[in-house]
Amino acid sequence: TLCGTPNYIAPEVINKKGHSYEVDVWSLGCILYTLLLGKPPFETSSLKDTYSKIRKNDYLIPENRISREVVLLIQRCLRHEP
């Protein structure tokens, strides 16, 4: 059964692959992005599109909104294999 908040679910979970602590690192990256930028990195108007963006790792970090160090941290968390 797939459970969790759709905007924070890691690709491994969506694809029903085995997973470990890496999915928590992914969720941490999503939460950090949301706290700093005001919306989840993969949010769309439909669940199908949100999952598609997660699978493709399709997100943008607006320039000059957060420090370079934090951008790098988010990027490291939102890797398919952090």
Q: How many helices (H) and strands (E) does the chain have?
A: 4, 0
Angle at 41 between CA 45 and CA 39, to 5 degrees: 75
Q: Closest Cα to residue 3, out of 16, 56, 25, 73? A: 16
* Res. 58: pLDDT tops 80: yes
Q: Where are the domains of the chain?
A: 6-77
pLDDT in tens, 3-52: 667 899 999 989 888 778 889 999 999 999 999 999 999 999 999 999 99
Note the pTM of the prediction, 2 decimals.
0.88
Architecture of domain 6-77: Orthogonal Bundle (1.10)
Chain centroid to Cα 15, Å, comes to 14
pLDDT at 6 (0 to 100): 87
d(CA 81, CA 50): 19
